[in-house]
Structure 1
Amino acid sequence: MASYRIRQYQDKDFDAVRTLFARGMLEHMPAGYRHVLRSARVQLELLVLFVLQALSTDLADVHGTYLRSPHSCFWVAEVGGAVVGMVAVEPPEDPAEREVALELKRMSVSKEHRGWGISGALCGEVLRFTRARGFGAVVLSTSMVQVAAQRLYESQGFRKVGATSPGLLASLLCFQIFRYRCDLPGRAAAPPH
């Protein structure tokens, strides 16, 4: 197994991060196709819309979104100087969770580098970061078709705490987003306000 290094995001990683995220999301198309209606056009439009939305929001300004707050961060994993994985953490959107948890986001590892332990190491980075800032839990969302991601999160101590359909069309297509939570033992002091 080749070695890898995890480090904090730098502006030079911008193109690699966007490409890695888009490729990772596009890999889920076959599983999504099998689950969602049988209309390839509808499925493709939904996936492309999701990827474009992500690339034009937080991933359009990684530094501004994830590196300006003490409770946010973005890491990349490198092999031979190339970015092959990424993960982010930030305060959750749910106001009830903001005082007690941070949210893991944008986890992705290139297909060629899966099975190297990179996903687990990135997840561990988020858990350490969260604990060090005094939060008692990490939350995340993943789709029902991302079975490998669900297994990874469960192996890291996350448990499924809910499921939702992200809209009317998703409800009609029986597509769900699963919510996971990992309670951290031995958390530090309460997070600063």
Structure 2
Amino acid sequence: MAPYHIRKYRESDRKWIVGLLSRGMAEHVPATFQQLLKLPRTLILLFGGPLALLLVSGSWLLVLVFSLSLFPALWFLDRKPWNMFVDMTLHTDMSDITKSYLSEHGSYFWVAESREKAVGMVGALPIDDPTLMEKRLQLFHLFVDTEHRRQGIAKALVRTVLQFARDQGYSEVVLDTSTIQLSAMALYESMDFQRTGQFFFCIWARLVPVPAVHFIYHLPSAQTGGSVISFFVYWSEYNQFGCSSKQSPTFHCNDKIKAYCQFTSESHMIGCGWLLGFCFIQSF
């Protein structure tokens, strides 16, 4: 497993990030298509449509043309919500990542880098809603390149967002994903995010159907009070980083903790330093 670190987004990352976003959405098309084919209304259309057309017209040629055109139409319907999401994203917050995420306090965009190559990303924006009782941050665009999955990068990116939210004084972190993204939902639930509802972001998603799932994470008080407390907070994460085993390379352990501690408040930095020291000693 190659070492990685999490850093601030740079403009030179944009081309790769746009490509990752497009590929990440496109990889859900086959699973969505399989789900679409299993729907009762699709089965009725596939089998009942040609039969009804044959009974009405008596033309096998018309039935053949109808059947051959049906699958491309379903494939188009299947791809439509994912393409719409990419198009909408590239014309809103991702049209200018620096302006959207890095120009104001309380928002950020991170890139996971391994061997000088960007392999993952995530962004966070505050929710501007005066009706909310709590200060809320929304997580956006968590993606990891397929070749670098199952290495803990996605979880490290989410932890980075959660720590950023704590340090910025947010009370809750929310996000949306789709029911077709089973691994993403499993990740969020393993990190104590809670489902709060479902919705369809467009009419095409309702037709497929691919509902979006809303998750929320309730943060404890952002002010934990000093380096001693922060040490125990980070120590509780120690084993999750895989640093308790002498088989873990020191540089790998350090990179993970550095990424986790990157956005801590000043009162937490001593605790992070202690944790890095323990990680170094443990490697001998």
Same-fold call, TM > 0.5?
A: yes
Change in Cα spacing, 1:166 to 1:49, as seen in structure 2 (3 Å) is: closer
Question: Hey, what does 2:97 align to over in structure 1?
Answer: 62
**Structure 1 counterpart SS, 2:79:** helix
Correspondent of 1:184 among 198, 213, 219:
219
- Bigger radius of gyration: 2
**Structure 2 counterpart SS, 1:161:** strand
Question: Hey, what does 1:29 align to over in structure 2?
Answer: 29
CA distance in 1, matches of 2:81, 2:95: 20
**Structure 2 counterpart SS, 1:186:** coil
Q: Does the 8 Å contact 2:77/2:204 carry over to 1?
A: no
**Structure 1 counterpart SS, 2:222:** coil
Question: Hey, what does 1:50 align to over in structure 2?
Answer: 85
Question: Hey, what does 1:89 align to over in structure 2?
Answer: 124
Cα deviation for residue 56 of structure 1 reads 2.7
Question: Hey, what does 2:172 align to over in structure 1?
Answer: 137
Change in Cα spacing, 1:95 to 1:153, as seen in structure 2 (3 Å) is: farther
Q: Which runs of 5+ in 1 are unaligned?
A: none
Question: Hey, what does 1:73 align to over in structure 2?
Answer: 108
Q: Does the 8 Å contact 1:135/1:188 carry over to 2?
A: no
RMSD: 1.9
Change in Cα spacing, 1:78 to 1:153, as seen in structure 2 (3 Å) is: same
Q: Which runs of 5+ in 2 are unaligned?
A: 43-73, 225-284
Question: Hey, which of these two has a bigger chunk of helix by percent?
Answer: 2
In the alignment, does 2:166 pair up with 1:120? Answer: no
Instruction: Read off the aligned partner of 2:194 and give its amino acid letter.
Output: R
What TM-score comes out, normalization by structure 2 length? Answer: 0.63
Instruction: Read off the aligned partner of 2:140 and give its amino acid letter.
Output: K
Cα deviation for residue 51 of structure 1 reads 1.4
Deviations 1:37-83 (A, max 9, x none): 66111112332222122123222200000001111100000111111
**Residue identity (%):** 37
Instruction: Read off the aligned partner of 2:76 and give its amino acid letter.
Output: R
Q: Does the 8 Å contact 2:134/2:171 carry over to 1?
A: no
Change in Cα spacing, 1:34 to 1:86, as seen in structure 2 (3 Å) is: same
What TM-score comes out, normalization by structure 1 length? Answer: 0.90
In the alignment, does 2:25 pair up with 1:20? Answer: no
Question: Hey, which of these two has a bigger chunk of strand by percent?
Answer: 1
